[in-house]
Amino acid sequence: MNVMFQKVAMLGLGLIGSSLCLAMRKHGLAQNIVGYAKTPETRQVALEIGLVDQVYATAAEAVCGADLVIMCVPVGACGQLAQEIGPHLSPGAILTDVGSVKGTIVRDCASFVPQGVHFVPGHPIAGTEQSGPRSGFAELFENRWCILTPLAGGDAAATAKLEAFWQACGSNTELMTPDHHDLVLAITSHLPHLIAYTTVATASDLESVTDTEVIKYSASGFRDFTRIAASDPTMWRDVFLNNKEAVLEMLGRFTEELAVLQRAVRWGDGETLFNLFTRAREARRNIIAAGQDTASPDFGRVQKKS
Amino acid sequence: MNVMFQKVAMLGLGLIGSSLCLAMRKHGLAQNIVGYAKTPETRQVALEIGLVDQVYATAAEAVCGADLVIMCVPVGACGQLAQEIGPHLSPGAILTDVGSVKGTIVRDCASFVPQGVHFVPGHPIAGTEQSGPRSGFAELFENRWCILTPLAGGDAAATAKLEAFWQACGSNTELMTPDHHDLVLAITSHLPHLIAYTTVATASDLESVTDTEVIKYSASGFRDFTRIAASDPTMWRDVFLNNKEAVLEMLGRFTEELAVLQRAVRWGDGETLFNLFTRAREARRNIIAAGQDTASPDFGRVQKKS
């Protein structure tokens, strides 16, 4: 037990919010956890399964007296939320978020944060394709990275305390500027999601291959794309609307590379294909070496016949 | 124990070949399993870990007296292999393969199969990103589909026996024409792999984001692409060289869909993005309902800090 905050206000209790509640419980990081959620259903579930000690129907009530406030809502909803809670934040409190885009969050929120409250935007690089208050688990952040993007001139002690909090949840932490964060995530996350969505859409609209066939034979690669493409639609709409420039830049580069491979397929250029495939395999080995995935041969997916 | 074949010759002992050996052992499907592998290392490992009872340095020796011969080599190597073993195949034997493309395998192999030998091309829709004789496991085919593409006028009893063999290995089986198979796999497997390779290549060539950053933050989506892109380069080169028309067709459709999404990102058209993302999520639910993946929230990936 290492109580770091007296009262933590969780604004939004979806996958990340609920996982954070469970992680705080597991490691004893908060004396008191209160929550806000938009729907009565989520508020009820959150109490029922013990994510929070109290739950409120407005964010303004939830943040009263909290020394840590975490916005766990879609990127596009953060600005309005900050505006709503701004007048109710306690002096000395740390305000953070978990959004996948940082530039527009800073733009949309910073002006609503009163003097004396420390706004330190953050982004835990962790998740699953699930959503909702029942999808969380305490281990979600273990051995994952959490990026903080403190503002110029911000309070260094607040940043350090938030770093320590994420580390106590099992994460590694890293500091960078909001703009650099958005570029890094455009390639590691936003582009792969857009591509996965596109692939699934392509498969849905074929006349020559039925949906049933696509599903039956999905184990051959398509399946992994659908997992990524199953993430929350609202969250991802907001990501693309809020990281437009970096996503378009990465898309342009992707399209160029794809043209090269397409040409190699058309002209039967096996050497170009082989060399690129070999290079890609190397990238995979580096990810396993860095502990960001497992090399176990069945990937935890062995299923018994029912 | 349900011995279906007296002597099975495994030509190639990589991921699929070694998994099939272990599945046959587990279910007692073969009296005797012999193998052929190109490299002395693989032959030695195969004996050492008990994949096969005997191992040979030539495929011609391995197939002598076998009543089931399974070619488990890259698609591009099947024609030459069929030519080499043709004169040595026993009358009444079943010859099959596990290649990811069926049209060119039929074209390259059929003429070398002597009268009285039953050639039934096949493709188990199962795999991992691993390769080599140590990567196999007996459960690889359980609850997966195996597609057989029997030739027009072929022996129905041989096809039925091969179906029963795959079912005994835990698979569901389905029959279709080679051309339709190649179209189905182009969308469910070949396009996703090409896209994954392209994404990994795009990420490797950035000036603004370092390779180290890409690897550190890969848990946000990129990771799953690298897994797909880590598959055997020779195998995949051969797939694209041998299923050119269907792959180019799917690529064309993919590029059209991508242009629509790219335009939606550029113009901030949140409705188009949201609708497409919602549709994609539905496809995922269907795959889970069909038992081709699991919805467990951490996907078997929870890692303890070391």
Residue A41 has pLDDT above 70, yes or no: yes
Q: What mean pLDDT, rounded, does chain A reach?
A: 92
Q: pLDDT class for A1, splitting at 50, 70, 90? A: low
pLDDT attached to residue B87: 98
pLDDT digit string, tens, across residues A234-265: 999 999 999 999 999 999 999 999 999 999 99
Query: Which of the residue ranges A163-172, A221-230, A285-294 would you say has the lowest mean pLDDT?
Result: A285-294
Rounded mean pLDDT, B273-291: 84
For B218, which of A170, A188, A301 is closest by C-beta distance?
A: A188
Which one of A292, A298, A304 would you mutate to disrupt binding with B, by most B Cβ within 10 Å of its Cβ?
A292
What integer pLDDT is reported at residue A137 of this predicted model?
97
B234-246: per-residue pLDDT in tens? 999 999 999 999 9
Burial class (CB in 10 A: 0-12, 13-18, 19+), B113: middle
B153 φψ region: left (φ > 0), alpha (ψ -120 to 50), beta (else): left
Q: What is the mean pLDDT of residues A10-29?
A: 98
- For CA atoms B62, B67, B72, B76, the dihedral sign is positive
Query: Longest C-alpha distance within chain B, in Å?
Result: 67
Chain B nearest C-alpha distance from A37 (Å): 21
Mean pLDDT value across residues B265-270: 97
Categorize the per-residue pLDDT at A295 as very low, low, confident or very high, splitting at 50, 70 and 90: low
Give the model's confidence band at A74: pLDDT under 50 very low, under 70 low, under 90 confident, else very high. Answer: very high
The mean pLDDT value of chain B amounts to 92
The 10 Å Cβ neighbour count of residue B211 is: 14
Given this model, what pLDDT does residue B306 score? 30
Phi, psi of A155 (to 5 degrees): -80, 115
**C-alpha R_g of chain A:** 21
Q: Residues A256-264: contacts with CB within 8 Å, 24+ apart?
A: A257/B198, A257/B201, A257/B202, A257/B205, A258/B194, A258/B195, A258/B198, A258/B251, A258/B255, A261/B194, A261/B197, A261/B198, A261/B201, A262/B248, A262/B251, A264/B240
Is pLDDT above 60 for A299? no
Residues of chain A contacting residue B102, judged by C-beta atoms under 8 Å apart: none
Chain A residue with Cα closest to B284: A226
Domains of chain A (ranges, CATH numbers): 5-175 (3.40.50.720), 180-289 (1.10.3660.10)
Contacts of A211 in chain B (CB under 8 A): 283, 286
A10-19, B174-183, B229-238: which has the minimum mean pLDDT?
B229-238
CB-nearest to A142 from B137, B220, B305 is B305
State the pLDDT confidence band at B299, using cuts at 50, 70 and 90.
very low
Residue pointed to by tokens 């795009």:
B202
> Residue B273 — very low, low, confident or very high, per pLDDT cuts 50/70/90?
very high
Over residues B32-57, mean pLDDT: 98
Q: What is the pLDDT of residue B295?
A: 59
Phi/psi for A202 (5° steps) reads -60, -45
B227: confidence class by pLDDT, cuts 50, 70, 90: confident
- Across the range B6-15, mean pLDDT stands at 98
A164, two tokens: 């320590």
ipTM above 0.90, yes or no: no
Question: Taking 50 as the threshold, does the pLDDT of residue A139 lie above it?
Answer: yes
For residue range B15-33, list pLDDT tens digits in order: 999 999 999 999 999 999 9
Strands laid side by side in the A30-36 sheet: A54-56, A30-36, A5-11, A68-71, A94-97, A118-119
| Interface contact B224-A224, CB threshold 8 A | yes
Which residue among A136, A230, A254 sits closest to B280, beta carbon to beta carbon?
A230
Model confidence at A3, pLDDT cuts 50, 70, 90, reads very high
pLDDT of residue A160: 98
* CB contact (8 A) between residue B220 and residue A295: no
Q: How far is A65 from chain B (nearest CA, A)?
A: 33
Which among B174, B192, B226 is the nearest to A284, CB-wise? B226
Max CA distance (Å), chain A:
67
- What's the pLDDT at A57? 97
Measured between beta carbons, which residues in chain B are less than 8 angstroms from residue A102? none
- Residues, chain B: 306
* Residue A167: per-residue pLDDT: 98
What are the tokens at B301? 């990936």
Chain B residues within an 8 Å CB radius of A290: 215-216, 218
Chain A residues touching residue B253 (CB < 8 angstroms): 202, 205-206
**What is the count of residue pairs from A and B with beta carbons less than 8 Å apart?**
384
The pLDDT of residue B220 is 77
Contacts of A208 in chain B (CB under 8 A): 183
The whole-number average pLDDT for the span B128-153 is: 94
Which residue shows structure tokens 């929120």? A109
CB contact under 8 A, A301 and B293: yes
The H or E element containing residue A176 is none
SS (H, E, C) A182-233: HHHHHHHHHHHHHHHHHHHHHHHCCCCCCHHHHHHCHHHCHHHHHHHCCCCH
Given a cut of 50, whether residue B105 has pLDDT beyond it is yes
pLDDT for residue A280:
86
Mean of the pLDDT values across residues B277-288? 82
Please, what is the Cα angle at B290 between B170 and A16, to 5 degrees?
115
pLDDT above 50: residue B300: no
**CA neighbor of A250 nearest in space, from B274, B244, B225, B275:** B225
Are B270 and A302 an interchain contact pair (Cβ–Cβ within 8 Å)?
Answer: no
Q: Which helix (H) or strand (E) holds A55?
A: strand A54-56
A34 in Cβ contact with A57 (< 8 Å): no
Answer yes or no: is pLDDT of B285 > 50: yes
CB within 8 Å of B285: residues ≥ 6 apart? A230
CA distance A109 to A122: 13
| A241 with B268: Cβ contact below 8 A | yes
Which chain B residues contact residue A202 at CB under 8 A? 187, 191, 250, 253-254, 257
For A164-212, what is each residue's pLDDT tens digit? 999 999 999 999 999 999 999 999 999 999 999 999 989 988 888 988 8
